[in-house]
Amino acid sequence: MTELYFATSNANKFDEVRKILSDYGVRVEMTKLELTEIQSDDLARIASEKARNAYASLRENVIVEDDGLFIDSLKGFPGPYSAFVYKTIGNEGILKLMEGITDRMATFKSIIAYCDSDLMPLMFVGEVKGTISETRRGRSWGYDPIFVPKDSGGLTYAELASRKNELSHRKLALEQFAKWYAEK
């Protein structure tokens, strides 16, 4: 099988990707690359450019992932700026912004972009609807302690722990990718 790399500097994200893809017989290696991330309101455009840049650096088949938390009452914020917002204000800042807001609906979206020698990235999208919790719950990384996916029994991704991958936006995108990759 062709070697496949996942370009990321996030070991937690790599661990999730590795576990999910292994269920489909896809082996992936982590590679840390300094990728320039374009600023855009479009997650697909960001992921596409990252995938092209990753392939240009590696010259190997590669996937990248970009994701965002889109909160309805905040007009989709933080959306494609989720990583920056997390680094600057974190979950506590999001919860502060949400104080007094009753509409807590949100969507967590993941885009897996695959690129090989044809330099035309293919996109695989996963979305999970849910809500933003009132408080930080559970121990985990990223927005997992404040995102309550639909059909989780009211638990945040963090409270779901290892069961998170059963309901994750990333899993939905990776499943699509793995099925396509197996046929490739």
> Is 5-183 assigned to CATH 3.90.1200.10?
no
Q: State the amino acid at position 156 in one-letter form.
A: T
Told to judge if 103 belongs to the known catalytic residues of this protein, a careful annotator would answer no
Q: Whole-structure pTM over 0.85, yes or no?
A: yes
pLDDT, tens only, 15-58: 989 999 998 999 999 999 888 778 899 999 999 999 999 999 99
Distance CA 80, CA 67 (A): 7
Which of 23, 41, 66, 151 is an active site residue? 66
Q: In this structure, what token pair is assigned to residue 118?
A: 């044809």
Q: Mean pLDDT across the chain, nearest whole number?
A: 93
Distance CA 81, CA 70 (A): 10
